[in-house]
Amino acid sequence: MTTNTKPTVIAASLGKEFVESVCSSLSVSDMSAFEFSRCVIFPGFCDVHVHFREPGFFYKETIATGSLASARGGYTAVCTMPNLNPVPDSVENLKLQTDIIEDTACIHVYPYGSITVGQKGEELADLEGMAKDVIAFSDDGKGVQSDDMMRKAMLKAKELGKMIVAHCEVNELLRGGYIHDGEYAKAHGHRGICSESEWAQIARDIELVKETGVKYHVCHISTKESVEIIRRAKAEGVDITCETGPHYLVMDDSMLQEDGRFKMNPPIRSKEDRDALIEGIIDGTIDMIATDHAPHSKEEKAKGLENSAFGVVGIETALPIMYTYLVKPGIITLDRLVELMVINPRKRFGIELGCDYSVWDLNEEYTVDPKEFVSLGKATPFENWKVFGRCLATVCDGKIVYKK
């Protein structure tokens, strides 16, 4: 890198030391082909909610393909959810995953331990045995239905100095739904998932957090009621953070199509919900953006809205979508996006940055094409969307792990 072609380093509040480490790394890296005067450098993104499907479901995604897809999206740290086979609910089961991570991951991958045995909600998992090797505890994919079981989990996690990360969903309120219980569902004869199935369990958990004092994080919030409940809890001093996903911030249920690539849980909801989520990222109620990257096979996503598997991929499109549809229109600033995708998740989950960064051309415009994805999963609601921002390279621990 020559002195007259320095890139712009988006460091937000990370300070001079990070900028200097990046510039030092660039000067010795094999990136001579890049026109750095056109480039923007971001600190390594951190996604606290991904599904890499290994062990157990490697045909959907592996840790190798998932971590490389993450690197292509500018991520250098991710946290993997526990809905695997076997479920990481014991030291032995967890080791199967951590061994694969050690052997095949190209970025930092931090596994969750499950809250309950087999994620069945009936018996507490070996939280104490797993604590030193997991980022936090979650039964993501399922809500813990029993108040008493969640209370026990929170007390144990508090004792261990670990966070509870909750997928909030009341099973008895689902009623066989698979998309938002809104106008699209009514117009097309689909069974809907009501908003209360999400916010009611958040409200319950907040009361348990007040009782137990545990650190608590809410996964993928999607409703206006969830935003308001969490906003009030924060005002009361509750130790709570939350995330939402890119698809909830730029889509509403009027944009649905009869295609499995529009099916995820929680579902894309109404325009009013979307507006509330945007207000939440503006005012700080929502702390971070997480993709909930959830790959499935082509066959599993080819059965329409009703019968396809829940989940879409998103780790390779997160920055381009957020930059194009939130930053460029002036809804949030680029520094705020860095807070949501780098600073806040790393601070809350205790994940250090180090010499991790990605190099982007934010002026490049292109159409999202799943055929270009590194991920084995190709189902994205953003297929054919026009975006700005192409990742040229990603560096983790000072080493190039992805290069266009």
Contact in structure between 292 and 219 (CB atoms under 8 Å):
yes
Which residues are CB-neighbours of 17 under 8 A, at least 6 positions away? none
- Please state, in angstroms and rounded to a whole number, the distance separating the CA atoms of residues 78 and 119: 21
Contact in structure between 40 and 362 (CB atoms under 8 Å):
yes
> What is the DSSP pairing of strand 192-193 with strand 357-367?
unpaired
Q: What single-letter amino acid sits at 117?
A: V
Contact in structure between 318 and 271 (CB atoms under 8 Å):
no
* 115: its two tokens: 């809250």
Contact in structure between 359 and 41 (CB atoms under 8 Å):
yes
Catalytic residue positions, numbered: 292
- Please state, in angstroms and rounded to a whole number, the distance separating the CA atoms of residues 11 and 43: 7
- Please state, in angstroms and rounded to a whole number, the distance separating the CA atoms of residues 132 and 140: 20
Q: What single-letter amino acid sits at 93?
A: N
- Please state, in angstroms and rounded to a whole number, the distance separating the CA atoms of residues 185 and 192: 6
| Cis amide linkage into residue 345, ω under 30° from 0 | no
The crossing angle, in degrees rounded to 10, of helices 196-212 and 147-160 is 50
* 35: its two tokens: 């026109």
The crossing angle, in degrees rounded to 10, of helices 91-104 and 63-72 is 50
Helical ranges in 73-146 per DSSP H: 91-104, 127-130
Q: DSSP labels for 187-226? A: HHTPPEEPTHHHHHHHHHHHHHHHHH---EEE-----HHH
Backbone conformation region of residue 81, classed left if phi is above 0, alpha if psi is from -120 to 50, else beta? beta
Burial state string for 144-177 with b = 16 or more CB within 10 A and e = fewer than 16: beeeebbbbbbbbbbebebbbbbbbbbeebbeeb
